[in-house]
Amino acid sequence: MNEAETMSYIQGFSKSGKAVTNLSRITALLEAIGNPQDSLQVIHIAGTNGKGSTLAYCATAAREAGFCVGQFTSPFVRHYADRIQVNGEDIPMQDLCELCEIVRNSGASADCSQFEITFAIALLYFVRRQCDLVFLETGIGGTLDATNIVQKPLVCAITSISYDHTAILGKTLPAIAAHKAGIIKPGCPVVLSADNPPEVAYVVQKAAEAKQAPLIQPSMRDCVILSETLQSTCFQYHCMTYTLSMTGRHQVYNALTAIEVIRILGMHGFLIPASAVSKALAAVQVPGRTQLLQLHPPVILDGSHNRAGIMALVELLQNSVQNHPLIGICGMLTSKDYTSASAVLGQVFQKVLCVDGFMPNAVPREELAGCFPKHCHAEGMELEAALPAALQWAKEQDGMAVICGSLYLASVFLQDGKTAL
């Protein structure tokens, strides 16, 4: 298969596939290609927000310690292949084509999703590269997610849980938490992010107890935030001082989860020294997550798309930006709670340029503009015109531009040649 044939085959499957009630479909697919997951040492990560950042912290630290590390994430941000990485590098197109042909020849069901097909390719690639450790990020939920086919992970992690995909996972936090906790396996340690509310912690605790799985939840009582700016966050945890390039209080929670995951990996014989952890936390910058694109004028890119993620962005802006007006470039999807998100963003923006056209189900820009408080001076604008207009406003007002609302919007500004910065 060549590149065009490969991408045509993958994109021939729907993004979500036929609705699932069990894991029989991914089970059949992986059996047909030799169950590659059974020969891998897996770290499994679920959650609403923070999965990608937590995974990146862990994987980078493991790589710094000399391990060969595989990463499977979603959705892609720059291009399709960035979902599958080994040692921080995207899967080469030749490998993608060859492994996709193996999956195609296995007779994959037409009911499969793009996610399942991509996951199967990723597992084959990790086996081919003889990865020491593989970090898997769930797509949606946990219990019925294709990645949950892994039966014996070394450790599981559950990051911050909040409202998202409620039509699938449920409309309450306990219901959503129950889905996420579905990744917990018998006897397998699970780390729960410190920022989860009591009702979430209770559900995860009960699920862990039922599986006799040790539950570890870092405590902010052991953590001190030393400084927080747009360029870095410094904190102390258990007498160790760390600096994060990804800023915001929420990234501290993600880092604490990663530190505990790394500690458990050491108990399995995968020793990662403190120096590697410190270096990794300082180096990691996940594209589209509170990413500082430029300094003059400052431009932040953040793909947060649910209420909790938006609130974390707003908290960062309130704590780190003082005496500088903010202009937002905002685009959201109709499947998200864009009304609530707009109200939250309205707390910090003086002006908002609402855009559409980056996805078929993007909220029409004029409709989105109408959701912002009147003091924000929100208006609809063509996507291509928004960034030049925001930069001009930021220069004139000695302000800052913030691109936010969707990872798909973030992708537009991160794809090669499209940042226009």
Q: Is the same domain home to 178 and 313?
A: no
Position 166 scores a pLDDT of 63
Give me the mean pLDDT over the 105-121 stretch: 93
Structure confidence at residue 353 as a pLDDT band (50, 70, 90): very high
Residue type, 390: A
Q: Could you tell me if residue 90 is inside a domain?
A: yes
Position 417 scores a pLDDT of 39
Q: Is the same domain home to 278 and 349?
A: no
Q: Could you tell me if residue 341 is inside a domain?
A: yes
- What is the percent of the chain where pLDDT is above 90? 77
pLDDT above 70: residue 165: no
Q: Could you tell me if residue 420 is inside a domain?
A: no
Q: Is the same domain home to 37 and 126?
A: yes
Q: Could you tell me if residue 171 is inside a domain?
A: yes
CATH number for position 41: 3.40.1190.10
Position 419 scores a pLDDT of 45
Q: Could you tell me if residue 120 is inside a domain?
A: yes
Domain limits for position 61: 3-283
| Among the listed residues 373, 399, 369, 398, the one whose alpha carbon sits nearest the alpha carbon of residue 381 | 369
Q: Could you tell me if residue 419 is inside a domain?
A: no
What single DSSP character describes residue 363? P
pLDDT tens-digit readout, 269-296: 999 999 999 999 999 998 888 888 998 8
CATH number for position 312: 3.90.190.20
Q: Is the same domain home to 14 and 154?
A: yes
Instruction: Give the end of a domain, one of 283, 317, 334.
Output: 283
pLDDT tens-digit readout, 137-146: 999 889 999 9
Instruction: Give the end of a domain, one of 283, 316, 334.
Output: 283
Q: Is the same domain home to 227 and 183?
A: yes
Q: Is the same domain home to 302 and 248?
A: no
Is 338 within 8 Å of 366 (Cβ atoms)? no
Instruction: Give the end of a domain, one of 283, 317, 349.
Output: 283
First to last CA, the chain: 36
Position 129 scores a pLDDT of 98
| Angle at 377 (CA atoms; ends 373, 379), nearest 5 degrees | 105
CA separation for the pair 321, 349 (Å, rounded) = 11
Structure confidence at residue 20 as a pLDDT band (50, 70, 90): confident
Structure confidence at residue 421 as a pLDDT band (50, 70, 90): low
Q: Is the same domain home to 189 and 317?
A: no
Across the beta sheet with 326-330, what order do the strands follow?
A: 291-295, 298-302, 400-404, 326-330, 351-354, 378-380
Q: Could you tell me if residue 331 is inside a domain?
A: yes
Count of CA atoms in the C-beta half-sphere (13 A) of 28: 9
Burial of 359 (0-12, 13-18, 19+ CB in 10 A): middle
CA separation for the pair 256, 53 (Å, rounded) = 11
Q: Is the same domain home to 112 and 232?
A: yes
Give me the mean pLDDT over the 357-382 stretch: 95
CA 379 from chain center: how many Å? 29
Q: Is the same domain home to 108 and 9?
A: yes
pLDDT tens-digit readout, 38-79: 999 999 999 998 999 999 999 999 999 999 999 999 888 788
Position 217 scores a pLDDT of 96
Q: Is the same domain home to 381 and 297?
A: yes
CA separation for the pair 63, 65 (Å, rounded) = 5
Average pLDDT of the chain to the nearest whole number: 93
Structure confidence at residue 416 as a pLDDT band (50, 70, 90): very low
Position 109 scores a pLDDT of 86
Position 319 scores a pLDDT of 82
Which residue has tokens 């406003």?
393
Is 163 within 8 Å of 173 (Cβ atoms)? yes
Residue type, 24: S
H-helix or E-strand spanning residue 242: strand 240-244
pLDDT above 70: residue 418: no
Give me the mean pLDDT over the 143-157 stretch: 97
Question: How is residue 391 written in tokens?
Answer: 């930069």
pLDDT tens-digit readout, 373-410: 988 999 999 999 999 999 999 999 999 999 999 989 99
Position 321 scores a pLDDT of 81
Q: Report how many domains make up the chain.
A: 2
Question: How is residue 416 written in tokens?
Answer: 């090669």
Q: Is the same domain home to 190 and 226?
A: yes
Q: Is the same domain home to 201 and 337?
A: no
H-helix or E-strand spanning residue 351: strand 351-354
Position 287 scores a pLDDT of 87
Q: Could you tell me if residue 110 is inside a domain?
A: yes
